[in-house]
Structure 1
Amino acid sequence: MVGHIPAEDRQVRLLLDSGRFAAAGEAFDELVAAGSNHVDAEWNRATVLVHRASLAWRLERIPLALELLAEGWTELDVDRPVGSAAAHTISMLGYLLETIGHRGPALELMALAVQIARDADDPGALAHCLCREGNTRVFRAVTRPAVASAEQFAKARDLFDESQSLARPGQVKRSALAGYARALAGLGEWETAEQAAKEALALGRAADDWFTSSVANWVLAVVRRSRGYLEEARTYASRALDAAETIRDTMLMMQFSRDLAAICEALCDPVGEAAALRRTVAASRTAVDVLQEGLGQALEQRRVAVQAQRMALAAREAALRDPLTGLTNRLGLERRAPVLLEHTAALGRIPWLVLIDVDWFKDVNDMAGHTAGDVVLQEVAHLLRRECRADDLICRWAGDEFVVLLVDGSEESRDAGPVVAERIRAAVHSHDWRLVLGQITKEPTVSIGVAAGPANLEHLFAAADIALYRAKRAGRNRVEIDRSRPTAESPTTG
């Protein structure tokens, strides 16, 4: 993938291919130190992210792999993908989906990538895409032989053949040659398959390419077994498995260990068969352990994310709450009221705003102290909750002023404002304040202004404020109603 991913990313992949996992892990950590999804502007972001997802998966960083995969997929223009970078990205995406067991769209994505690479007229990109699709078809033919395996092997053979003709000397050309040999073996072309496998094995050994070496040894094991040379087949199968274990390729490990067990069984070698089966179980357990570990990491990350989300939600809620009374504060009212008023108007109901001011509150603070004043406000808030309905929006507006927005959609909404206001006034007037204030001259009461419609908070508040002013002027402990909207209730005095 020269030219499509940074050199640092390529270096991690080369270390993995040579089985140097500790060095690969350190290099990968350095690569993502600035942020796993950070990609310099000179590179195609989707391509780099998907490639890093494949690296993270091979390093058993499962949650990170899935995160990078999802982000890379999102970055990709899947509606109109063009160019060699898009071909690489879609091909890697399909291959990674196949690797993690999400086989549904995998082969279709790799075939699409081949077509995009053809349209881009980029031989190098096309060679990569052809090789990935060929490998996928080979392993599908091997693992699911009842499902048109001959057809899959034939398609893989043609894909590998074209890939070799396009690729420059290097890992892709070697891998394509080994895959080509396996496809030929699957089609029964034993001599040509053996010749290609030996050539690929020599190239793989020279380049310290364990993937190519493992596949080439596998092919030789298949060829020798087909001819009845079981001892030689066992040797090649064992070498193939050793190489697969070196690079920790679970898919190869499981397939090669099963093949080795079958060869040992044919040789009447129960010890070798048992050892091979143990390696199969070990490979399976490794795959399960990796996925379980990844699931555990993902769950922990999800827990942390949910906790952070809850904390953020709590912070937002706290910003809309009055800390003294626990009621909605002014900001909360201003945010929620428009939606509630619009909903009430849509139902054809009458919204009411009840504006409440505590009488003689300055005297309470002066005579009993500000702590007692705070308790009075808390008691008023408690009485408001008791006298109002669950759907009513109760707010501490400022200081000793409270607002109740009545947006109930019931038929009684025409007279709800005055009725609720009078209940509130009477509740405060009859409340026993002695436990809070002791023996003082004046117990707090409330003056209330009430206004109905239109469905606009500013207009409602202005009309209720005028009515509240009249209640104060008329002697306090009263309910006054906005005179611009006559109602069935008349002003009430305590």
Structure 2
Amino acid sequence: MQLEDQPLAGHIPAQDRLVRQLLDAGRFTRADAAFDELLAGGSNSVDSRWVRSTVLVHRAVLAWRLGRIPLALELLTDGWTELDTQPPTGGSAAHTISMLGFMLEGIGRRGPAMDLMSLAVQIARESGDQPTLAHCQLREGISRVFRAATHPDQAAHQFAAARELSEEAQSLAKPGRVKRSALAVLARSLAGMGEVETAERVAHEALKLARDSSDIYATAMANWVLAGIKRSEGVLTEARTFASRALEGAENVHESLLMMRFSSELAEICRSLGDPVGEAAALRRAVTAAFSAVDILKEGLGQALEQRRVATQAQRMAMAAREAALRDPLTGLANRLGLERMAPVLLERTAAAGRIPWLVLLDVDWFKDVNDFAGHTAGDVVLQEVANMLRRECRAGDLLCRWAGDEFVVLLVDAAEDSREAGPLVAERIRAAVNAHDWRLVLGRLEKKPTVSIGVAAGPNDLDQLFASADIALYKAKRAGRNRVETESREPGSD
């Protein structure tokens, strides 16, 4: 089987692309066998020539379509975790983020899904990789036309956005699957905006190109568009025929998102025709699609995915913690014992250099609300994100510690000799970073987003005294309304 030229070619190994093309052609027995061969060397094994996160997420998509849900979760989690360690730039990152968003869209996590797909388009555009940009635009365009069909109040906005995305995608893409599918999305957008005659012409063009190329996916999309056009014109018998063909194509390539949308459309057309038998059959197919791909997983899969990602990160941190028993396994920072053992050495070194030691004690505000309303897994993610922000805002020589629960300690020992305001300055940077952080992907629309209250103390080269002073300042910050910094300075000789 010849590999069709497509945008992913530069980012995905040939064997992975072969499995994808077998799936797109409905050849699932061969695709399943080829996928087994691909994984024979280990599901997480990726040649160094390829971007690991992109390949892993692409394999997750393949596993999903083959019905291997646990493996899909494992691969997707590993790919997502891998992406966390890389700056989101370049075509590979754009593809990875776009595929993540499209999978989340398919399981009902629509808010984060659209954010990820839009981010992917932005990254692809900045990279200058036009084939990648077209592919990312296609995924977002498909999601927007489906969302317009299920949310009439958003239809005008979604169709307009989908039109813009699909027009550019089909102009950028080389002849192939992306270009054909983008034409179908463009036709649906035009129909939704009332340009029915142009939409029908474009849809027939997309259908011909798809059939000539034996492209089942694009054929199904074009048939679905024509079903909607005929339905709007009141030609319901033709609409039913096109909708039936669209659903059959989606089932042949195991695309759950398409199966759900097309079966619902067919049921509505049959109902309008007074065809209860056809309506019942379409609804049964919708239920089958839901049970196989969506409803069983929709309630728990989004959380399970995040839990598995966090579990993977925690497991890696735990392995490091076994080698260094002074580290907290969840955040990777020093733990309480680590602080108590390392602080005296650092304080002595600071005193010998003639510098003033600072201790920053911070507590996460509203953390109980996070655990109560978003769950303890989300709480763990919040603590990890706060730890990451501490790493970004502090110097390499400073000691960072998760003291207990949602309390963190920073011992500043690397401040400049003349910096008598180092503690409050660093504390304010930390507070501002947490306050500005976007928590929506982790917590959704939680009423009280996490902030931090911070107490800062300077003075004696004694950890207990520094901690006691910082604790007093932290109490003041909490009493004063949270999300603020308070200082309790006790320089040597101030007593």
Q: Same fold (TM over 0.5)?
A: yes
Q: Contact between 2:137 and 2:169, CA under 8 Å: does it hold in 1?
A: yes
Counterpart in the other structure of 1:175 = 181
Aligned ranges for residues 144-183 of structure 1 at < 5 Å?
Answer: 144-146=151-153, 148-183=154-189
Is it true that 1:218 corresponds to 2:227 in the alignment? no
Is it true that 1:43 corresponds to 2:50 in the alignment? yes
Counterpart in the other structure of 1:240 = 246
Counterpart in the other structure of 1:16 = 23
Give the SS at the match of 1:2.
helix
Q: State the 1:32 CA deviation.
A: 1.0
Q: Distance in 2 between matches of 1:83 and 1:267?
A: 50
Q: Which amino acid aligns with 2:215?
A: D
Which of 88-97 and 152-161 deviates more? 88-97
Q: Distance in 1 between matches of 2:61 and 2:149?
A: 23
Give the alignment partner of residue 121 of structure 1, picking from 124, 128, 137: 128
Q: Distance in 2 between matches of 1:288 and 1:215?
A: 20
Q: Which amino acid aligns with 2:264?
A: R
Q: State the 1:79 CA deviation.
A: 7.2
Counterpart in the other structure of 2:237 = 231
Q: State the 1:20 CA deviation.
A: 1.1
Spell out, residue by residue over 1:57-104, the C-alpha distance to the aligned partner (whole angstroms, 9 max, x if none).
111111211111111112125773211111111111211221222223
Q: State the 1:111 CA deviation.
A: 1.1
Counterpart in the other structure of 1:142 = 149
Give the SS at the match of 1:104.
helix
Q: 1:107 to 1:289 in 2, by over 3 A?
A: closer
Q: Distance in 2 between matches of 1:161 and 1:172?
A: 12
Spell out, residue by residue over 1:362-406, the C-alpha distance to the aligned partner (whole angstroms, 9 max, x if none).
xxxxxxxxxxxxxxxxxxxxxxxxxxxxxxxxxxxxxxxxxxxxx
Q: Output the aligned Cα RMSD.
A: 3.0
Counterpart in the other structure of 1:103 = 110
Q: Distance in 2 between matches of 1:273 and 1:240?
A: 15
Spell out, residue by residue over 1:298-355, the C-alpha distance to the aligned partner (whole angstroms, 9 max, x if none).
99xx9xx9xxx9xx99xx9xxxxxxxxxxxxxxxxxxxxxx7xx89xx9xxxxxxxxx
Q: Distance in 1 between matches of 2:64 and 2:205?
A: 30
TM-score by length of 1: 0.58
Q: Distance in 1 between matches of 2:256 and 2:94?
A: 26
Q: 1:289 to 1:81 in 2, by over 3 A?
A: closer
Q: 1:222 to 1:91 in 2, by over 3 A?
A: same
Q: Distance in 2 between matches of 1:251 and 1:38?
A: 29
Counterpart in the other structure of 1:462 = none
Counterpart in the other structure of 1:67 = 74
Is it true that 1:278 corresponds to 2:280 in the alignment? no
Counterpart in the other structure of 2:193 = 187
Spell out, residue by residue over 1:125-173, the C-alpha distance to the aligned partner (whole angstroms, 9 max, x if none).
1111111111111111112223x11100110011000001100000111
Q: Which amino acid aligns with 2:56?
A: L
Q: Which amino acid aligns with 2:246?
A: A
Q: Contact between 2:107 and 2:297, CA under 8 Å: does it hold in 1?
A: no
Q: Contact between 1:258 and 1:277, CA under 8 Å: does it hold in 2?
A: yes
Give the SS at the match of 1:179.
helix
Q: Contact between 1:5 and 1:43, CA under 8 Å: does it hold in 2?
A: yes
Q: State the 1:108 CA deviation.
A: 1.2
Aligned ranges for residues 53-452 of structure 1 at < 5 Å?
Answer: 53-77=60-84, 80-146=87-153, 148-287=154-293, 291=297
Which of 150-159 and 80-89 deviates more? 80-89
Q: Contact between 1:62 and 1:291, CA under 8 Å: does it hold in 2?
A: no
Q: Contact between 1:150 and 1:187, CA under 8 Å: does it hold in 2?
A: yes
Q: Which amino acid aligns with 1:245?
A: E
Give the SS at the match of 2:110.
coil
Q: Distance in 1 between matches of 2:122 and 2:261?
A: 30
Q: Distance in 1 between matches of 2:51 and 2:189?
A: 33
Q: Distance in 2 between matches of 1:265 and 1:77?
A: 47
Q: Distance in 2 between matches of 1:180 and 1:200?
A: 10
Q: State the 1:286 CA deviation.
A: 2.4
Counterpart in the other structure of 1:452 = none
Is it true that 1:52 corresponds to 2:46 in the alignment? no
Q: Contact between 2:256 and 2:294, CA under 8 Å: does it hold in 1?
A: no
Q: Distance in 2 between matches of 1:290 and 1:94?
A: 19
Counterpart in the other structure of 1:404 = none
Give the SS at the match of 2:241.
helix
Q: State the 1:230 CA deviation.
A: 0.9
Q: Distance in 2 between matches of 1:258 and 1:289?
A: 15
Q: Contact between 1:90 and 1:110, CA under 8 Å: does it hold in 2?
A: yes
Q: Distance in 1 between matches of 2:257 and 2:145?
A: 12
Q: State the 1:250 CA deviation.
A: 2.0
Segments of structure 1 that go 5 or more residues without pairing to the other structure are: 317-338, 347-494
Q: Which has the larger radius of gyration?
A: 1
Q: Which amino acid aligns with 1:131?
A: L
Q: Distance in 2 between matches of 1:281 and 1:80?
A: 40
Q: Distance in 1 between matches of 2:41 and 2:196?
A: 51
Segments of structure 2 that go 5 or more residues without pairing to the other structure are: 1-7, 323-336, 345-495
Q: 1:214 to 1:181 in 2, by over 3 A?
A: same
Q: 1:105 to 1:54 in 2, by over 3 A?
A: same
Q: Which amino acid aligns with 2:37?
A: E
Q: Contact between 1:18 and 1:209, CA under 8 Å: does it hold in 2?
A: yes
TM-score by length of 2: 0.58
Spell out, residue by residue over 1:440-489, the C-alpha distance to the aligned partner (whole angstroms, 9 max, x if none).
xxxxxxxxxxxxxxxxxxxxxxxxxxxxxxxxxxxxxxxxxxxxxxxxxx
Give the SS at the match of 1:41.
coil
Q: Distance in 2 between matches of 1:77 and 1:285?
A: 32
Q: Distance in 2 between matches of 1:176 and 1:150?
A: 19
Q: State the 1:194 CA deviation.
A: 0.8
Give the SS at the match of 2:10.
coil
Counterpart in the other structure of 1:26 = 33
Q: Matched residue pairs, number?
A: 309
Q: Contact between 2:124 and 2:133, CA under 8 Å: does it hold in 1?
A: yes
Q: Which amino acid aligns with 1:267?
A: L
Q: Distance in 1 between matches of 2:90 and 2:276?
A: 54
Q: Percent identity?
A: 64
Spell out, residue by residue over 1:192-215, the C-alpha distance to the aligned partner (whole angstroms, 9 max, x if none).
111111111111112221111111
Spell out, residue by residue over 1:182-231, the C-alpha distance to the aligned partner (whole angstroms, 9 max, x if none).
11122121111111111111111122211111110011111111111111
